[in-house]
Amino acid sequence: MKFVVLKKGSLILFIIGFIALSLGAVWMMFPKESYPTVSMNGESSSVQVIQMVTGEFSSETESGEKIESYRWDPGTIVVDKGKEVQFRILGVNGMAHPFYIEGTDVRGTVKKGEESIFNVTFDKKGTYRLVCETHESIENDGPMIGYIVVK
């Protein structure tokens, strides 16, 4: 009697396992492309809008030395090759951040309380650096470097 119950349990487990495998197989047949989760800005959906701010990490060491680092936030973004991207960078921390994007002719300055807006289209895949010329390295209260991943 006990043996029969065990057998029934095994059969149910087998059926559940089979259904799970089948569902997995069906799921795998569908393309894995994800849906865009970045706002495409409604009416002008051909332009991808990236919003950033300038931020600052600030701290003090045990010996009382003040250390700080200016940052682009978010520090890494991902955009599509050949698609027009609009950057909207608001200056929050730091008076001015003169910047350029490597591999492009994009240059500008983000000032405190102002929003710098510019459009750029990347024609080649790769990782481009958004560099603040004033805070490029740790020695200069950086590294204020953002990474634009073009896929």
Judged by the rule CB under 5 A, the positions of this chain that interact with Cu ion are 70, 97, 132, 134-135, 144
Nearer to Cu ion, 48 or 131 (CB): 131
The residues, any chain, with a CB within 8 Å of residue 53's CB and separated by 6 or more, are 72, 73, 89, 90, 91, 92
Identity of residue 55: G
Cβ of residue 138: shortest distance to Cu ion, in angstroms?
13
Alpha carbon separation from 26 to 18, 89, 113 (Å, rounded)? 12, 43, 52
Q: Vertex 131, ends 133 and 49: CA angle to 5°?
A: 130
Nearer to Cu ion, 50 or 94 (CB): 94
Cβ of residue 34: shortest distance to Cu ion, in angstroms?
33
Nearer to Cu ion, 48 or 130 (CB): 130
Cβ of residue 151: shortest distance to Cu ion, in angstroms?
26
